[in-house]
Structure 1
Amino acid sequence: MVVAAAVAVFLLVPGGGSGVAPVGAAEPPAASTERAPSTERVAGPTGTPIDAEVLPASKPSWLEVPAIGVRTDRIIELGLQADGALEVPGDAVTAGWFDQSPTPGEVGPAVVAGHVDYRKVPGVFQRLKELTSGAEVVVHRADGTSAVFAVSRVEHYAKSEFPTEKVYGDTSGPELRLITCGGEFDSSSGNYEDNVVAYARLVRAFRA
């Protein structure tokens, strides 16, 4: 997959700089009075079922992950920087969809990245590592449809050993990747040492 080769740069710049899994922090996690993502469990949404194994292209608008209390206000588009690294969300609570990956529900791995924390604010994917097999991720799309993905596994990788092709490579059906940082925080570099990746497959879709 061409996209996989294009994003094979994993350097994370402190404070939310570049990196394909771009969600570290310039400082260790700390309490903050700023707005943070909800940590309350939210109920899974329902609507009119769509009888389709693959959805047409439609950009993601927002997402929710009931098992870890995530409900975003929006999803922004992330492109590539001049050095080939993935752009990053500019705040802790916004998730970003890599706009050179499929839209959620199309065949292939749709890639969504978010911070684990950012400038002392807990990040939208702070609890990503807690997801277990079967947990659902609901991506609400611009065309009024919603794609529901079931998590198959969550894996941790050292940034130096990030499996680009495994994460970004072609798949036979609609899949989703949620990516954040994890592992130990290296205060000397201002980065987390690892990445956390949740893998999920489309299980159903509906129209609200």
Structure 2
Amino acid sequence: MGFSKPVRIRIPRIGVDAPVTEVDVDAAGNLPAPSADDRNLAGWYRQSAAPGTVGNAVIDGHVDTVKGPAVIDGHVDTVKGPAVFYGLGALHRDDVIDIVRADRSTAEFTVDAVEVYPKNAVPGDQVYGDADRPQLRLITCGGAYTKSTGYQGSVVVFAHFSRAVPA
């Protein structure tokens, strides 16, 4: 497929149907998830391949969010709950992921594996490195969680390009 930015991600198995925005690494070199103000928003790392082109296309999103404060039932509280990639860990080999692109075509991917890594041990070459065919990597927080340190791991979905669906 030719270059075209992703605009939507659909993962039927876990009920994801979300818009995609562009994200880039921050000053510390970390890839942040898109704004937590919208729990149903995924972020395409714009320095990665466009979905359907040769290379690893990387899309991230929040697993859950804490937004606040807000007035709930007359008192101030935080709003929190599952976010766009909450169900990533429930994906299985051969599940389908559709990426709708700006040119209105769809790049279909098939899940190869779902892995959980310690936050500081995500295999950068496998996620962000070069690939000789179109690949997709989805990433979110995961593993153990504490209030003081947050999530201790990352969930990574590895998928390969299976077909192009014309506009």
User: For the superposition of Structure 1 and Structure 2, which TM-score range results when normalised by the shorter chain?
Assistant: 0.7 to 0.9
**Residues 16-165 of structure 1 mapped to structure 2, 5 A cutoff:** 55-72=1-18, 74-91=19-36, 92-119=39-66, 120-165=80-125
Identity %: 43
Which is strand-richer, 1 or 2? 2
Q: CA-to-partner distance for each residue in 1:145-187, whole Å, 9 max, x for gaps?
A: 1000000000010112121112111111000000001111122
Q: Distance in 2 between matches of 1:86 and 1:131?
A: 22
Q: SS of the residue aligned with 1:64? A: strand
Partner of 1:178: 138
Instruction: State the aligned residue count.
Output: 152
After superposition, the C-alpha distances for 1:54-88 in whole angstroms (9 at most, x for unaligned) are x110000101000111111x100001222222232
Let me know the Cα RMSD of the aligned residues. 0.9
Q: Given the two structures, how large is their TM-score scaled by the length of structure 2? A: 0.88
Q: Which runs of structure 1 show a deviation greater than 2 angstroms over 4 or more consecutive aligned residues?
A: none
For residues 172 and 160 of structure 1, the distance between their equivalents in structure 2, rounded to whole angstroms, comes to: 26
Specify the SS of the correspondent of 1:126. coil
| Structure 2 gap segments, 5+ residues each | 67-79
- Whole-Å separation in 1 of the counterparts to 2:109 and 2:144: 29
Partner in structure 1 of residue 72 of structure 2: none
Question: TM-score, length-normalised on structure 1?
Answer: 0.71
Q: Which protein has greater RCO, CA pairs closer than 8 Å, 6+ apart?
A: 1
